[in-house]
Amino acid sequence: MKTLAIIPARGGSKRIPRKNVLEVGGKALIVHTVNQAQNSDHINRVVVSTDDDEIADVSQRAGAEVLMRPAALSNGTATSESALIHALDELADNYNYVPDELVFLQCTSPLRRPTDIDDAIDRFRTMQFDSLFSVSRFRKYVWKLDGQIPRSVNFDYQAERWREQDFPEQYEENGSIYVMKPWVLRSYNYRFGGRMGLYEMDSWSALQVDTPEDLALCAAAFKSRVVQGSNG
């Protein structure tokens, strides 16, 4: 079974400049995801797709293969799917390599565990899904504004409020792990399609680094050893 992990990482992060190579928990942000993929029992090839020389150098020194992608696939409007398809094309055309399974890992999840990756792949295989993505249980009341009028979205505010443990089964996509058959990506030009499944993670290990506050929270987690052993 050829199981490929692709980690897209562009150099032009806006909210946190040079985010993917900033140090958190003793190593560059992207290296956490590279190491997690390397420590997976199921993944047997790890590729970083980037437009940035420093990210490429850091990733190669961590043991990942690197595929450079054109600037047109690395601007602020380019999709992750375009980077994934470019990497698949490069591997097929230049290395005669076509994976059976594709694992898309965003490098903004430094707290995920290799066991989460493996458990997600196990579920993907056992349930014979075509695509699967990681989620976290969602136990919050959601409101929206209809003009200036607040409207409840996922509950009836006039009914009894739920205790946290009594919330209905709801999940939020956490962006940490995506597993798919390559044909799904090519057919739908999207990470979802075919027979779809979920893999539930705890919200802490799925924390995404999107803001300076997220980065500080992750740094504190590593420093306090709350996530000791999380990424091998």
Task: Indicate whether 140 belongs to any domain.
Answer: no
Contact 200, 133 (CB under 8 A): no
Summarised one tens digit per residue, pLDDT across range 219-231 is 888 887 555 544 5
Task: Indicate whether 152 belongs to any domain.
Answer: no
Sign of CA dihedral 168, 106, 209, 75: negative
Catalytic site includes residue 161 = yes
Distance linking the first and last C-alpha atoms of the chain: 23
Task: Indicate whether 122 belongs to any domain.
Answer: yes
Task: Indicate whether 232 belongs to any domain.
Answer: no
Helices and strands (H, E) in the chain, number of each type: 6, 11
Residues of the domain holding 192: 3-135+172-223
Summarised one tens digit per residue, pLDDT across range 90-131 is 999 999 999 999 999 999 999 999 999 999 999 999 999 999
Contact 117, 36 (CB under 8 A): yes
Q: How many domains does the chain fold into?
A: 1
- Report the percent of the chain where pLDDT is more than 90: 72
Contact 138, 163 (CB under 8 A): no
Contact 184, 194 (CB under 8 A): yes
Cβ neighbours, 10 Å, residue 168: 9
Look up tokens 């707290």; give the residue: 111
pTM above 0.75, yes or no: yes
Q: What is the CATH number of the domain that holds 71?
A: 3.90.550.10
Task: Indicate whether 89 belongs to any domain.
Answer: yes
Say which of 15, 61, 112, 161 is annotated catalytic: 161
Contact 87, 50 (CB under 8 A): no
